[in-house]
Chains A and B, each alone.
Chain A
Amino acid sequence: MGADQAWILVALPAAAFVVLALCGRWLPRQGDVLAVLAIGASLVLYFFVLHDFLHQRDGLVNSHEYWSIAMHHTWSNVGNFNLNFGTYVDPLSAVMVGVVTIAGTLITIFSIGYMKGEVRYWWFFAVLMGFIAAKLMLVLSDNLLLLYFAWEGVGVCSFLLIGFYWEKRSAAEAAKKAFITTRIGDVGLLIGIILLWKATGTFNIQDILTAATTGQIGHVYLFVSLMFIFLGAMGKSALFPFHVWLPDAMEGPTPVSALIHAATMVVAGVYLIARLLPAFEVVPASLLVVTIVGLVTAILTGFMALATTDIKKVLAYSTIGQLGFMYIALGCSHPDAAIMHLMTHAFFKSLLFLAAGSVIIGTHHNQDMKQLGGLWRKMPITAVTFLIGSLALAAVPPFSGFWSKDEIFHGTTAWNGGWVTFLLGFAAVLTALYTTRLFVRTFLGKPQDQAVYDNAHETGPVMVLPLIILALITCVAGFTVFNGVGRAMGFPGGFTEFVFLHEPERFVMNWSWAAASAVIAFGGVFLAGWIYWGNRITISTRLADWQPGVYNMLVNKFYFDDLYQAGIDRGLLGFSYVVSWFDRYVVNDTGVDGVADTTRYSGSILKYVQTGKVPAYALGIALGAVGLAIAGLVVRG
């Protein structure tokens, strides 16, 4: 199977979605095996695609050339409006597909254990497959329209999965919040796509990029349309100020959280911006916006994570923070660093979420740090894998997060003044701080709630196995940055020599940078360890007592939710009241009802034409015939 048949990767989970959605409940084991088989087959076939892709690339004389394999079909031609759909395989999408299929397979296997005995078991796997299929279509699509369809598909599936326990009011609310918040961004994305289509006459991404880089689109116009597209990415990636939906989205089953955070949902925005980065580079102002939004997000969510005690919500904030890091890298024109961090993050974050899921199952649905603690002895495997994930998240060498974050640090140095690097370093310290706090308060120290501790137990093999695999990947994934490792795996070189924007860049160890970022990571870890493990937790409570305003601000997530609610209550509802008054009295009573009454009245008159008498009918025909003939003669003159 070659890279031009990459659509099969999408088709398999999509077919599984259809089969499971229609008849999943009657299948043996409610079809979970089918789901694993479908995504597993996609994973296996992915390696064939990758092999073929690398093989064809090796054939190039100049291996520095950017290489891609495109395939497309005509969808419909209506007049001069041509629609094609197809797949586009290049290093960027190859890495993304790899991340999605690997993480997707492991998460699907894990779900068999996690979802055991839940209601609508089959429906969960059906939507899971739909989710993965939509994401694969998103990264493989060669045009913006298909990408938009997939984008919305991802949105719908996330809505269904976050609200999976729809009997629970909080879950239904969270699903609604996630959907509406991302929808706002999606509208922006659609506007952006239409603007670009209007300027270039095509939806094909490569054609649009060519048009943008050769200056066929005016800079202001391009800036505006790119900002609209970035709005879509911000909504999907839960960047500031759209970050409010992601922590609430924790209401979904934990494997769903893992999938949303690691592979399918939030990183879609990163992919989209990375894909369109050549166009962003044409207007440097747009890159600045991306960087600033990324920085604000990374720092704000770092603070929020410090004040949260729900382990899944801490992870949620950490995801937003890491996404901020990726956007900073994108803003510095380093998609290689961003995508590498995306990859390592996908693995260690799904590891962390699955481990958190394991904690939740092992402690019988307890996910508040205030009631956990000391689980190290009860759940050794979960604890060790969680520790590995945490170290990677805190960017402690030699775990994968260190290498990718180091790349981002390196990328930001291109900016003059170093303010980006400085703020990034601050955000990294925060990351290490809250990550360590999370681990210490969950697994170390004294049990906070003896009853929870006594009933805790290690989870079964179907859940532990994905944890171990992900932990192994997390340990080694960072080394792909080295030229030798990449070559040994058959890639043309290290990660940054495979995914790049202009020129492949060989990774060279810069010891001072590495030392600096290691110091940042260790500093954060030790600080948190000193506070939370050394039973100096009172320091933080004393801080809260000393400055209750600051603490409340953090606990209440900087009051963003309240701000939005007030905005909706006062602004939107007030405005809608005015509009509804206008609609009721002006549009409806006079406009619509008037027209409708007229229509209905004319209908009621006309129906009497139908008398049911044959002579009347025949008369109608005869009059029609005579009338036509006379009219014909009159027209002839």
Chain B
Amino acid sequence: MGKRVLLIEDEPNIIEAISFILSRDGWAVATHSNGHDAVDVVEEAKPDLLILDVMLPGKSGFEILRHLRENYGPQDLPVMMLTARGQLKDREMAEKAGVNRFMTKPFSNAEMLEAVRELVAS
């Protein structure tokens, strides 16, 4: 069984594509598609890496990350944020919330894989 990645994203076709890429690379991928209960899902799944979209129904990725950092501690869970909002203020907000990697859409599959490997290895 490979390392566990939890992907929280609300666009079904992006979920399918990322799940496929990561699964092929040996990761065990779990997915979730809304922000309402995302924190509970993370706490239950205990992933080795969290990939988190920013704009989610119910609760934003920033809010979820802030909540997780308050409970997990800043270093425990590597988090990669995906967003179509690449502005400086969004990056700053993500860094302030405790993100490990900020990836702007659209990204390539190779970039995504490389980032995931790096985050878990470190």
A binds B: no
Binding site for A on B (CB under 8 A): none
Binding site for B on A (CB under 8 A): none
